[in-house]
Chains A and B, each alone.
Chain A
Amino acid sequence: MNDHENLSALVDDELNGDQVEEAIDRMISDETLRRRYSRYLLIGELLRGRTAAISVPERDGPLGGPLLAPGFAERVMAAIPPASPRGSEGGNVVKLPVRGDDGTPSPSRPASARPLWPALAASIVLSASAGFLVARQIPPSSFAPRPAASAAGVSATRPGADRVSRENTDASDARAGATAVSSVAGVAAHSIPAGARNASQRDWAAQDPRIRRRLQSYLVAHSEFLGGGMQGMLPYARVVALAGKPGGDTGGGR
């Protein structure tokens, strides 16, 4: 097994005694593995609803918000049914591997209700005994609950507006005709990890080239729908400007 698979197995309590020691030895010497391990623990905690919504102050807007929407963990867990054979009828369980956020696959795990908590508890004890505290990876302030004023719903007040608009929701079209959300068999939703906070506003040029190309094709397709017809081909100016190599003329700040 590679390191990624070892970590997954460690979290899932699938390693024997010698393998556990080996996995911990690897983490002691590899910061990347320690960070990944802490993310797995966080993901497990979030899926079990044991962690309050994590507030992420936004750099670009006045609205802070939870990293995950309230009820996200419950929706995900409700969507994960007990394991049943792959491809069974009725849209039931299909085992889907969980992808690590670096793109490396992890071994397919049954999306079972096998509790994660004992594995986490054991892992934390083992981590502590190895001489480092995984919890230190996640600042306690990250778990602060969202302020009550904004928790009631997003206020869409514009700066200087002379009145507060109603909560800006209009899901009627989005939900029209929708049936109740049935289980997506075997889907273990890959929650947005704490590291995504650092990825906030991450420039696409800094992304993996394969992600960049995918985003580029998305942007090309999306550009056809931009501007309400007012700007002709101008949305594509962004496509070609973003595709240029760094070192285009620098016009200074605005």
Chain B
Amino acid sequence: MIRNRCVAGAARWAMCSLVLAILAEPVAWGTMDSDPAAAQRLDRLVRAARTFNYDATFVYHHDGKMDEMRIIHRYANGEERERLVTLSGSTREVLRDQAKVTCIIPDDQTVVVGKSRPQSVYGTPVLTASGYREHYRLTLLGAARTAGRSAEIISIEPRDLFRYGYRLWLDEQTGLLLRSELRDPAGKILESVVYTNLATPETIPDSLLRPEISGNGFSWYTTLDSMELPKRSSKWAPGWLPKGFSMREREETPLPSGKMPLEHLVYGDGLASLSIYVEQLPKSAPALIGASRMGAVNAFGAMIGEFQLTVVGEVPLETVRKVAQSIDYRG
């Protein structure tokens, strides 16, 4: 009977230990099943995307449609310049340098110009983002062949339902991206990019980085006058964010209407990000009320008085909606 009591006691102790282990802090639990090798590959990808010269074509698959595009990236004297141009359908282009991003959309007779942020985004290795592994499980899945090159497959799996995940095929030789899939928390593929050709020339001439479209006669929309402001001074704040999201940037952009400037708050967890825009609309301007989808990017709009609140993010609809519903104003 004493022996049985000891066995029973040991079993209880083991069970308690197991329960305690299961209830352990998610950081510890999370890092136990993330692969350091996968994280290293991601760091290599971030550096390669910034510092390599490459000229590549790829197919962007989304919403049952495919768009073929070409991307040209040059890194010289510590500066990046790049150009993205469509190869199917109407010609649309995006040009990016250290100062600005210019999107030329002939279909809408529109040019949209915004600030580029090469340092803040491209200079941040994935691993150093705080709590990154707490919210995603990184796994090295194995090897494959794509675009005629050998690749390693990395899985980035979200640990909750409020963010998306990725599956990435990385070139073994350069570390550059060869294929990517954006997946919802259930694993469903929302969109994918498949490279069909990748070249890494020593030099890239200026001619390849100039637009084919002039944009003359188009309507121009710009946020170049935006000013970065202290993060804590906004009068608007979300009451709820997914775990691990913190404010990354806050800026204001003057508007030609002379009304209060457009306020832009950016929150992120190191991989996913969402933006809150607060804009005082002119009386004649229509408002976005409710949900809207821009590919894998979800938006949710509401009006408070004359203020249009819009939450935009590459996150599930439920996430942008919860954030939008939680926004408060502090006078």
Contact = CB atoms under 8 A, between A and B. Distances in A.
A183 B185 CA distance: 38
Given A65-B318, A103-B285, A186-B305, A239 B94 contact: yes
B177 A187 contact: no
B254 interface: no
Contact of A248 (B88, B184, B245, B310): B88
Interface string A175-215: 11111111111111111110111011111100111110111
Contacts of A131: none
B330 A220 contact: no
Given A98-B305, A103-B284, A182-B331, A202 B247 contact: no
B186 interface: yes
Interface stretch (B7-15, B139-147, B197-205, B234-242): B234-242
Contact of B290 (A60, A165, A200): A200
A28 interface: no
In this complex, the member of B60, B184, B290 whose beta carbon has the largest number of chain A beta carbons within 10 angstroms is: B290
A220 B110 CA distance: 13
A33 B195 CA distance: 51
Interface in B219-251: 221, 223, 232, 237-249
B159 A229 contact: no
A99 B314 CA distance: 28
Contact of B159 (A79, A158, A219): A158
Nearest to A157: B161
- Which of B244, B299, B322, B326 counts the most chain A CB atoms within 10 A? B299
A240 B103 contact: yes
Interface residues of B, number: 130
B108 A213 contact: yes
Contacts of A251: 59, 61, 64-66
Interface residues of A, number: 109
A218 B284 contact: no
Contact of A244 (B67, B84, B96): B67
B331 to A, nearest CB: 4
B94 A236 contact: yes
B60 A237 contact: yes
Contacts of A221: 114-115, 223, 264, 275
B153 interface: no
B216 interface: no
A98 B305 CA distance: 6
B151 interface: no
Contacts, number: 364
Nearest to A66: B325
Interface string A210-244: 11011111111111111111111111111111111
Contacts of B310: 214-215, 218
B182 to A, nearest CB: 10
A50 interface: no
Nearest to B66: A251
A231 B88 CA distance: 21
A158 B158 contact: yes
B242 A168 contact: yes
A85 interface: no
B261 to A, nearest CB: 13
Interface string A50-84: 00000000101111010011001001000100000
A252 interface: yes
Given A61-B184, A241-B86, 17 more contacts: A58-B318, A96-B306, A156-B161, A165-B26, A168-B243, A171-B241, A202-B291, A203-B293, A216-B105, A216-B110, A221-B275, A222-B266, A230-B166, A236-B84, A240-B84, A240-B93, A242-B295
Interface of B: 22-23, 26, 42, 45-46, 49-50, 58-62, 64-69, 71, 73, 82, 84, 86, 88-90, 92-94, 96, 101, 103, 105, 107-108, 110, 112, 114-117, 121-126, 129, 158-162, 166, 168, 177, 180, 184-187, 189, 191-193, 221, 223, 232, 237-249, 264, 266-268, 270-271, 273-275, 277, 279, 281, 283-297, 299, 302-306, 310, 312-314, 316-318, 321-322, 325-326, 328-331
